[in-house]
Amino acid sequence: MNSANGQGLAISNELLLSFHPTDTKLDRIQAQVALFREDPHALASPEWNAASGALGQLASVDRQFDPTGERALEIALPGYLHGIVEQGDEYGMWVYGNIHDNWDPSHGRALIHRVWSASHYQNVWGDWMLYFRSGDPAHLRWARVHSDHHMDIDTNNFDDGTALHGRAGYMYHVKGFVPWGGDSGFFEHWINPAAFMLRYYLTGDRRAFDVAKTWFAIAGPGAAQPLGSDVLGVPCSGWRNSFARDRVTYLGEMVDYYTAIWDPHALMAFADESRYLLDVPFECTGSAGDHPIWTRQWFSRYYELTHDPRTVTRLVNWSSAGFKDVTVSAFLYRTTGNIEYLRRVLPDFYDNAHILYDSPGERYHGYGQWVSALSQVWLQQAPYFLHALKSAGLRPAPGEKRVTYPGSAVNFPTTDTPSSPSRGWSDSSTVVVALTHPNLSLDVSMDALRPFGDPRGQFFVLTPPPFPPAAGTGFAFPTKLFDQEYFSNSVFPLSFQLTTPTPHSLYRVEVRAEIPRIFAPYTNVPEAAVLRQRWFRNGCEVQMGSTGLDRQLFFFSPTRPHSDTVTLRLGAINGADNRYAPSAMPVYYRVEAITGQTIQEGTVFLYGNRKSVEIALPAPAQPLGTPEPQPVWRFYSTTTYGPKIEVIDGAEEVLFSTKSGDLREVWNALPQVATNPIVCP
């Protein structure tokens, strides 16, 4: 019960005392009150702000350079305020303006895990940074709402010496059922006094300045025990159970405080903290992928002030160990001139910018990954990465990134060969046909996409039967060359080799799983996945759907024969494995002609008004067996889980391939067969 005690909470309300003649008109008084509530202030242009270097090397709003990314930055947090904070039924005096670790759009409420996230990821500073670079009143409103809560509720404003909630200036972690119910501290990874200083410098709010000074009064020199010289020479294995995020956060926040007011005591504090911290091999520490770069700003703040070369060395080594991050990449490009740091993260940046539900007037307008407090970090990173792209002469582009074939959920494992009732195609999750070449082995390599859920499944390698596709519906039992079940702890990639396959033959590699999480391509020869319109269920053929993950980027064509119009349906799904709504995200899709022109694009979201969309593609057809030009399009989508892809009319199958040349070879080799479906009664 002590943790629930509200000692140290505050209510900050500004009061207006207005003296005026008794004959003052009511409309003039109302206008004065409205002006007081708006609390206007002077602000330099966003372009000047960004160019000043006050917040480092970031870009001001430039909708010509990256209209998609800028749209996400524009509506994400105002959308959060509108759709989560103000349209929910959970917010009261003490929690209005807080944020959550997870949101469930199916019930319109937060999950209980880390239900009040405060500024666990320096979110409040990020709010003010977005206003700094945009001057957008909608950003100002959210920044004030969020930081009001952080100053009054997420920060302890009073102590009486009993250390009930630490000391005045301590900030709360995310572990409580009420915002003040968990642990608190002054140097840990969740502190964010930089947000108070930025609010003060942008708006002149003395209350924010006072809270920042209250924090420094208990966080200054000697308050936190820095690392000592005994860290020197410790091998990589010795850091496995050491976690850096508390230390780097304290360092970054203290540097920010020092550069704001030039207090020499702050200089002493961060000098002590950095003395040996930057001799630690970050890539060897616990949770090395994110803890050493926590806050995403500490290294830029520290380096721009000190030019300590160890900062660059530490992050170069961290990156060389296989870790990557958007803000680190921008920093390393700036300090080393190596443009490859930008290119390696550009595909992920491009994808994330597109996962946005843009539908004014709807509750979830602006919905994206940033409904999770953790994923709001992307909003803090984007302006810095955009600046680096501009400096490097690069533009946002899809780039190269591995993708997985879409597939359907089926039972596994099975000891039998997958049965093949519908046009000879099996009921496996994903069916890939691989066209062998003379004097070339058939090499199968199965590598898993992680961390998108459990990659468990089973794969088969099957000999070429006389079909599929088949003229009728029946069962065929091709020879099984190999099968293997795999698990989340399997050592990927899994492999199989057939040294002397029959040339010019369509072998099959099939996956059975809940949702296939295996990277394409599966083989070393031309291949394509077969997305079927129908499959066999309970004695008849029903509509089939295939679900993608993460990014989908494929060339595709209908099999022959097909109609003059081929129609696909794309739909959003209910998050992980289509049953976990908190992970449900908007799906961005784009269909292009082979020449690159966009045919249709947009977003769908299961909890918005646009849940699915149909795409009708002209595909001039010829009679069965007659040569015809191959219709080819390119499909791109991005989300976390989804989309569901259905072939609803015009073709029995659609072939997906990562390479247009592979698609052409498989399309030409696949038999042309017409079939009448077995319609359900």
CATH number at residue 58: 1.50.10
Q: What tens digit of pLDDT does each residue of 226-248 get?
A: 998 989 989 999 998 889 999 99
Residues 370, 325, single domain; the answer is yes
Residues 256, 350, single domain; the answer is yes
Instruction: Give all strands (DSSP E) within 81-191, no chain letters.
Output: 103-104, 109-110, 171-172, 184-185
Number of domains in the chain: 2
Q: What tens digit of pLDDT does each residue of 103-152 get?
A: 999 999 999 999 999 999 999 999 999 999 999 999 999 999 999 999 99
H, E, C per residue of 460-511: EEECCCCCCCCCCCCCCCCCEEEEEEECCCCCCCEEEEECCCCCCCEEEEEE
Say if CB 429 and CB 548 are below 8 A apart: no
Q: 491, 401, 509, 495: which is closest to 455 by C-alpha?
A: 491
Phi, psi of 441 (to 5 degrees): -70, 160
Residues 385, 450, single domain; the answer is no
Report if residue 679 sits inside a domain.
no
Q: What tens digit of pLDDT does each residue of 282-340 get?
A: 999 999 999 999 999 999 999 999 999 999 999 999 999 999 999 999 999 999 999 99
Say if CB 174 and CB 114 are below 8 A apart: yes
Rounded distance, CA 280 to CA 287, Å?
Answer: 14
CA distances from 386 to 46, 278, 393, 575 (A): 15, 27, 11, 29
Q: How many CB atoms lie within 10 A of CB 561?
A: 18
pLDDT of residue 472: 66
Residues 374, 409, single domain; the answer is no
pLDDT of residue 473: 60
Query: Tokens for 5?
Result: 């005690």
pLDDT of residue 412: 84
Q: What letter would DSSP give residue 451?
A: S
Bridge partners (DSSP) listed for residue 495:
445
Residues 295, 426, single domain; the answer is no
Calculate what percentage of the chain has a pLDDT beyond 70: 98
Query: Tokens for 542?
Result: 């029903």
Average pLDDT over residues 193-202: 98
Rounded distance, CA 295 to CA 380, Å?
Answer: 9
Report if residue 183 sits inside a domain.
yes
Q: What letter would DSSP give residue 15?
A: -
Residues 601, 662, single domain; the answer is yes
Q: How many CA atoms lie within 13 Å of 528's alpha carbon, on the beta-carbon side?
A: 27
Q: Who contacts 400 (Cβ-Cβ below 8 Å, separation ≥6)?
A: 347
**Cis preceding linkage at 40, omega within 30:** no
Residues 384, 460, single domain; the answer is no
pLDDT of residue 460: 94
Instruction: Give all strands (DSSP E) within 59-162, no chain letters.
Output: 103-104, 109-110
Q: What tens digit of pLDDT does each residue of 14-61 get?
A: 889 989 898 999 999 999 999 999 999 999 999 999 999 999 999 999
**Cis preceding linkage at 413, omega within 30:** yes
Last residue of a domain, one of 345, 361, 392: 392
Q: Who contacts 340 (Cβ-Cβ below 8 Å, separation ≥6)?
A: none
- Is pLDDT at 204 greater than 90 in this prediction? yes
Last residue of a domain, one of 358, 392, 426: 392
pLDDT of residue 162: 82
Residues 186, 140, single domain; the answer is yes
Query: Tokens for 363?
Result: 């509750």
pLDDT of residue 676: 77
Phi/psi region, residue 183 (left: phi>0; alpha: psi -120 to 50; beta: rest), is beta
pLDDT of residue 616: 98
Signed CA dihedral, 620, 624, 630, 635: sign only: positive
Bridge partners (DSSP) listed for residue 103:
110
Calculate what percentage of the chain has a pLDDT beyond 90: 80
Q: How many CB atoms lie within 10 A of CB 393?
A: 7
Mean pLDDT of the chain, nearest integer = 93
Which amino acid is present at 622? Q
Report if residue 490 sits inside a domain.
yes
H, E, C per residue of 170-181: CEECCCCCCCCC
pLDDT of residue 209: 97
Report if residue 678 sits inside a domain.
no
Rounded distance, CA 537 to CA 572, Å?
Answer: 23
Residues 450, 572, single domain; the answer is yes
Report if residue 139 sits inside a domain.
yes
Residues 374, 425, single domain; the answer is no
**CA triplet 59, 65, 69: central angle to 5 degrees?**
75
Residues 442, 322, single domain; the answer is no
pLDDT of residue 452: 65
Residues 366, 445, single domain; the answer is no
Residue 179 — pLDDT band, cuts 50, 70, 90? Answer: very high
Last residue of a domain, one of 392, 425, 452: 392
Report if residue 362 sits inside a domain.
yes
pLDDT of residue 419: 64
Which amino acid is present at 381? Q
Query: Tokens for 579?
Result: 């049953």
The end-to-end CA distance of the chain, in Å, is: 63
Say if CB 294 and CB 189 are below 8 A apart: yes
Query: Tokens for 461?
Result: 């390698």
Q: What tens digit of pLDDT does each residue of 444-494 get?
A: 999 998 776 678 999 999 999 777 887 766 556 678 999 999 998 899 999
Q: What tens digit of pLDDT does each residue of 609-639 get?
A: 999 999 999 999 988 878 899 999 999 999 9
Which amino acid is present at 187? F
Report if residue 676 sits inside a domain.
no
Report if residue 374 sits inside a domain.
yes
Residue 420 — pLDDT band, cuts 50, 70, 90? Answer: low
pTM score of the predicted model: 0.94
Q: What tens digit of pLDDT does each residue of 79-99 get?
A: 999 999 999 877 777 899 999
pLDDT of residue 421: 65
Range of the domain at 159: 2-392
pLDDT of residue 140: 98
